[in-house]
Structure 1
Amino acid sequence: MSALYRFIHAEKANQPVTLLCRAVKIARSSYYSWREGEASRQARRAADEALAHEIAVLHIASRKTYGVPRIHAELQHLGRRVNRKRVDRIMRQADIQGVTRRKRRSLTRADKKARPAPDLIGRDFHAETPGTKLVGDITYLPTAEGWLYLACWLDLATREIVGYAMAGHHRASLVTDALKMAHGRAGLRPGCVIHSDRGSELGLNRSSQHRLPGAIVGVC
């Protein structure tokens, strides 16, 4: 409808308004009402453009991290009295978005049915001989196809990652696959102790002792 009003407004210098309104089937009173409000609409658009520029500057200054709440607070701090809904609307129209903090995913879930494994490492995170003490954990990485889980084992003597595995799940098999790599690469010695938190995956959901070829590994 606004396009028809603008057409009449542009052509009224060449043709009578009455004829133009009749041609597009619009009442003259509606056109005149639109024309009276056009000045205020132009003023609002100009004000929105100016505010969008201020918001863009604040957003860039925040390294493109601020969303609507922080941008609104900054504008108020600068003495700009502006409605938060207006800030939200302008940011959406300009496709200005803040960084949303991802909800932290907890991977440590203790198995209540399993018997707690003894702490064989005793907070002593040092080792003189490679293949005698390992520490491990699971982390997760967001990807375009979903969460990717990574299990790693570090040798406390060499401070090297000696075993790792990645998968789209964090079941016990992810940890054992990483442990098998560690055994093949680091040559775990009989009685080698591996240490992790008490999460059910790193606890392997089984007993606290797991037999590998040539080594017995205790999970703390």
Structure 2
Amino acid sequence: MNHYQFVEDHQRRHGVKRLCDILGLARSSFYYWRRTAAARAARQAVEAGLAARIRKVHQDSNGTYGVPRITAELRDGDGPAINHKRVARIMRTIGLEGVRLRRRHRTTVADQAAAKAPDLIGRDFTAAVVNTKYVGDITYLPVSGAKPLYLATVIDLASRRLAGWAIADHMRTELVTDALAAAERTRGSLAGAITHTDHGSQDGFNRSSQRWLVGAIVAAW
């Protein structure tokens, strides 16, 4: 309980002076607290109203909105003006927070010096026959308390199934060739197939994969 409120509640029985002496309070501070009680109650009522509005916006966003988005929503609606610092304080008080998106980890690093491989599929990401057109990519996998991992995949555009994959703690050419080797083991041969990816360098994967895939046509990784 607030010490001033305790004095207020027990002053008739024990007296303000005695209670303030016991609690180590200045009587002037107690009397100031009592004079400002009405203004303080009014501020608390406004805070409670803002907390209710913030909670509704947060709930309507399925718990995803944080301070910036909630502040923007409140400014667009009816009610008193509010700044982001006040929203942040109230959200901390009532235990709300938004969803924090992880920073995007870049896995495609283009080699500006390398010649761009042609787009052999012409942006047509469909195939009528399996083992003719593939797409590949590298995905960043965060691991709590450990070094991050990278997943390389090779997907058949006809069946939409994962033909091969590989995981490593690096993005060197071996990661990609391991995924292609896994796809070759699954399909028996990738000869004549087109593998389309983005233009990442991956330590010269474009050139390495062309050498490794005998008879295969690689668009670009």
Which category describes the TM-score, using the shorter chain as reference length?
0.7 to 0.9
Describe how 1:1-220 pairs up with structure 2 within 5 A: 3-84=2-83, 85-121=85-121, 130-141=130-141, 144=144, 148-201=149-202, 204=205, 206-207=207-208, 209-211=210-212, 215-220=214-219
Q: Amino acid of the residue matched to residue 114 of structure 2?
A: A
The answer for unaligned runs of 5 or more in structure 1 is none
SS in structure 2 at match of 1:108: coil
Q: Amino acid of the residue matched to residue 63 of structure 1?
A: N
- Which is strand-richer, 1 or 2? 1
Change (3 A) 1:111 1:78: closer
Cα deviation for residue 177 of structure 1 reads 1.6
How many residues align? The count is: 217
- The answer (yes or no) to whether the contact 1:208–1:218 under 8 Å persists in 2 is no
Alignment TM-score, normalising by the size of structure 1: 0.79
SS in structure 1 at match of 2:55: helix
Q: Amino acid of the residue matched to residue 97 of structure 1?
A: E
The answer for unaligned runs of 5 or more in structure 2 is none
Q: Deviations over 1:143-176 (max 9, x none)?
A: 5457553221123444422111234443322212
Q: Deviations over 1:98-141 (max 9, x none)?
A: 33454444322212343444555555656565434432122335
Larger mean CA deviation between 144-153 and 35-44 belongs to: 144-153
Larger mean CA deviation between 134-143 and 25-34 belongs to: 134-143
Alignment TM-score, normalising by the size of structure 2: 0.79
- Pairwise CA RMSD of aligned residues? 3.0
Change (3 A) 1:121 1:188: farther
Change (3 A) 1:207 1:118: farther
Change (3 A) 1:210 1:193: farther
SS in structure 2 at match of 1:6: helix
- Which is helix-richer, 1 or 2? 2
Separation (CA, whole Å) in 2 of partners of 1:30 and 1:128: 84
Change (3 A) 1:171 1:42: farther
SS in structure 2 at match of 1:210: helix
Cα deviation for residue 187 of structure 1 reads 1.1
- The answer (yes or no) to whether the contact 1:5–1:31 under 8 Å persists in 2 is yes
Same amino acid, percent of matched pairs: 47
